[in-house]
Amino acid sequence: MDNPRLLLFIALSVVMLLLFQAWQADYGGRGAGGGAPAPAAGPGAAGVPAGGAAGPAADVPQAAPRAPVPAPAGTGAPVPGVRALPSTGRVRVETDTLVVEIDTTGGDVRRVDLPLYTVSVDDPTPLRLMDDAGRVYVAQDGFAMAAGAGPNHTSVYRAEADHYRLAGDTDTLEVPLVWEQDGVRVTKRFIFHRGRYDIDIVYTVENGGGSPWQGSFYRQLQRGHDPALEAKGFVRTYTGVAIYTPEEHYQKIDYGDIEEQDLQRSGVRGGWVAMLQHYFVGAWVPPQDAVHAFYTRFLQGRYYVGVKSPLAEIAPGARREFGSTLYVGPKLQDQLAALAEGLDLVVDYGILTVIAKPLFWALKLFHNLTGNWGWAIVLLTLVIKLAFYKLSETSYRSMARMRAVQPKLAALKERYGDDRQRMQQALMELYKKEKINPLGGCLPVLVQIPVFIALYWVLLESVELRQAPWILWIRDLSQKDPYYVLPILMGLTMFLSQRLNPAPPDPLQAKIMSFLPVIFTFFFLFFPSGLVLYWVVNQSLSLLQQWYITRHVVGTVPKKA
């Protein structure tokens, strides 16, 4: 296999990567092993309207006396247009990682700012992950009642204070809210942790009434459409819903799929539900040793994904606790993996996860050594190149031998003309005599393509590279090179690599090859600079390796015609 074909294979791999990425964005969210979501119970499902201080609500899951209803059942007609969420007061909570606003209506998490992650390198404003103004993205929970009184996300709580701050000498911060009605007292406690993005939410229900209390604990994420998160340009990442069940594992559900049909997953032990956007995630993690039902719903222009627990009963004079964990923050794999099985899969490396995870581990190791993600990419690229040195050497040796016998190949073509059968026999005899494997230059490249694609996803999905500087003008490795220096260098290395080899004998192939550096340069103008940095370093090392091996091997290959 000659060098032009090698470059064509590389070009093909990039095109395949872009096509696969586009396919994932359009169809990949329909499930990663579980098939299409099953329809959920609709508004006509058995049950009674949810109770609470604010009365029935269309987006509050209902509870039936005999069995839980996994999806919210609407009790009223949808309100056209965008509706604002009701608000009765705010409680502001500040930790080292989160600035959260909790509304006393429902005890909803209405606003989440991330002080360690700014809007951009030029805008120091903390990134706002959740908000109830404009686009809506909030976390809600409560009880769907079958008997007795209980709060849902429309009920009004009483707060002891309106501002909490994590003190410098403590690791946790507790924020209580209280709701009371008909002798039932419910205390909802938010427990924040230093250095973490997970919030433990614990309900204590005390039944001081004269009859049994029956309710199903639900928690859900509600989100409106946000055009700012839609994929743009060549680099596309997933924005939508994800769920995890032990039986069907990690599944993505596009917002478009939620509009088409409701999801129902009953009898799920453990698992979690989440809403994803590139580097950040909001997720509800229920107790992993209990059975729940998962649901999605599209209602009044909003998308819902939630978890609902089986109907619980509390006798008069008794009390019971209900708990869950809410994660709102960056996709930090260590923290996510510690919360629940499979939660770190929201950092989505796709089918090449088995290769990508070790690559990310190595990338972090080099970052710990250098303190710079750009140099970590350089070192990782060097290690990968060294790991594949023998394969590349085999490839370049095969190319050199093929080049050395080009005069003999030309003579065979002239001798046999259009007699394909005689030509193939002569070629096989020549390859055998010269000890040439015609696939020797191809197979090593094919082996390396999965590693390249896996590393592509590592660099694209890792929040650690967001706003990470390298040197001089590269201030954010997750954004394109502002002056296009790296893409131009990449095109230059491809051009020089071609110059090391004679032009293909086929004029059409030669013309295609001459355009490849230009085409690649255009593609990479819009890629994140971290990805382009990897490609530039890889191409530069390949160029040096090709020059060395070619010079070394050409002198050892017989040159007789």
Answer yes or no: do 381 and 513 share one domain. Answer: yes
* Domain-ending residue, one of 328, 348, 368: 348
291 within a domain of the structure (yes/no): yes
Which pLDDT score is estimated for 135?
82
For the CA atoms of 75, 78, 268, 462, the dihedral, rounded to the nearest 10 degrees, stands at: -160
What residues contact 451, with CB distance under 8 A and at least 6 apart? 355, 359, 384, 388
Residue 145 within a domain: yes
Instruction: State whether 306 and 366 are in the same domain.
Output: no
Q: What is the pLDDT of residue 184?
A: 93
**What is the pLDDT, as a whole number, of residue 222?**
95
pLDDT at position 520: 78
Least Cα distance to 263 among 291, 306, 295, 299 occurs for 295
Sign of the torsion formed by the C-alpha atoms of 388, 390, 391 and 397:
positive
- Looking at residue 1, its pLDDT comes to 39
271 and 374 both lie in a single domain = no
- The verdict on 132 and 163 lying in the same domain is yes
The answer to whether residue 305 is domain-embedded is: yes
Whether residue 393 sits in one domain with residue 425? yes
User: Domain end: 309, 328, 348, which one?
Assistant: 348
Q: Which residues contact 63 (CB under 8 A, 6 or more apart)?
A: 47, 48, 50, 69, 143, 144, 145, 146, 214, 215, 216, 311
- Cα separation, 350 vs 457, whole angstroms: 8
Asked if residue 215 and residue 136 are part of one domain, the reply reads: yes
In a domain, 191, yes or no: yes
The pLDDT, as a whole number, for residue 65 is 36
Same domain, yes or no, for 371 and 344?
no
- Cα gap 465→363, rounded to integer Å: 11
Question: Which pLDDT belongs to residue 364?
Answer: 92
318 and 449 in one domain? no
Question: Domain range for residue 398?
Answer: 3-21+356-554
Residue with tokens 């809210």: 177
Same structural domain, 244 and 273: yes
Q: What is the pLDDT of residue 108?
A: 95
What pLDDT was estimated at residue 27? Answer: 40
The reply to whether 546 falls in a domain is: yes
User: For position 282, what pLDDT does the model report?
Assistant: 96
Helical residues (DSSP H) of 169-284, grouped into ranges? 255-260
Choose one of 314, 348, 382: the last residue of a domain.
Answer: 348
Q: Choose among 539, 491, 497: nearest CA to 382.
A: 539
User: What CATH number should be reported for the domain holding residue 321?
Assistant: 2.70.98.90
Burial of 512 (0-12, 13-18, 19+ CB in 10 A): middle
> Residue 216: what pLDDT?
94
Domains in the chain, number: 2
Q: What gap in Å lies between CA 378 and CA 462, rounded to an integer?
A: 16
Asked whether residue 81 is domain-assigned, the answer is no
pLDDT in tens for each of the 561 residues of the chain?
344 444 444 555 555 454 444 444 444 443 333 333 333 333 333 222 333 333 345 576 655 333 333 333 332 333 334 567 889 999 999 999 999 999 999 999 999 999 999 988 888 999 999 998 878 999 999 999 998 888 999 999 999 999 999 988 899 999 999 999 999 999 999 999 999 999 999 999 999 988 999 999 999 999 987 766 655 555 567 888 999 998 888 999 988 899 988 888 888 898 999 999 989 999 999 999 999 999 999 988 899 999 999 999 999 999 999 999 999 999 999 999 999 999 999 998 888 888 899 999 999 999 999 999 999 999 998 998 888 777 777 666 666 666 666 677 667 666 766 667 777 777 777 767 766 665 555 555 676 778 878 888 888 888 988 888 998 899 988 888 889 888 888 888 888 877 766 555 556 666 666 777 787 788 788 888 888 898 888 888 888 877 777 676 544 444 443
- Are 25 and 464 in contact, with CB atoms under 8 Å apart? no
Residues 258 and 291 in one domain: yes
Is residue 57 in some structural domain? Answer: yes
Answer yes or no: do 172 and 244 share one domain: yes
Are both 62 and 191 inside the same structural domain? yes
Under DSSP, is residue 295 helix (H, G, I), strand (E, B) or coil? strand
